């Protein structure tokens, strides 16, 4: 996805969804790894959100935050989880 396409998709999102996505992305960048929604919410609650753009943003409840981020990831074409058939083994390891 080109930066222009990414920006266009970001602008089409509702403000709450866009801000939750950016907060989640920021938390992942600080952690240096992929975070669960709960981990990201906890980190943002404990450490706060750095930067001037977050002065008017109030972090929603964990379940609402997860819903917003999930919706944003779908709109951006960045699913958090992959389908089984796309994984290297393709099948469940549980028998």
Residue labelled with tokens 């919706």: 71
Position 61 pLDDT exceeds 90: yes
Question: For 40, how many CA atoms within 13 A lie in the half-sphere containing its CB?
Answer: 28
Q: What's the pTM value of the predicted model, to 2 decimals?
A: 0.77
- Would you list the domain boundaries of the chain? 3-86
Task: Sort 76 into a burial class: Cβ within 10 Å, 0-12 / 13-18 / 19+.
Answer: middle
Q: What is the pLDDT of residues 15-51, one digit of tens each?
A: 999 999 999 999 999 999 989 999 999 999 988 877 6
């Amino acid at each position: 996805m080109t930066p222009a396409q990414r920006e266009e998709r970001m602008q089409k999102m509702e403000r709450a969804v866009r801000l939750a996505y950016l907060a989640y992305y920021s938390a992942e960048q600080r952690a240096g790894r992929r975070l669960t929604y709960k981990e990201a919410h906890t980190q943002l609650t404990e450490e706060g959100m750095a930067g001037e753009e977050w002065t008017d943003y109030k972090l929603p409840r964990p379940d609402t935050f997860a819903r917003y981020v999930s919706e944003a990831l779908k709109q951006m074409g960045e699913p958090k989880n992959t389908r089984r058939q796309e994984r290297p083994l393709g099948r469940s390891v549980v028998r």
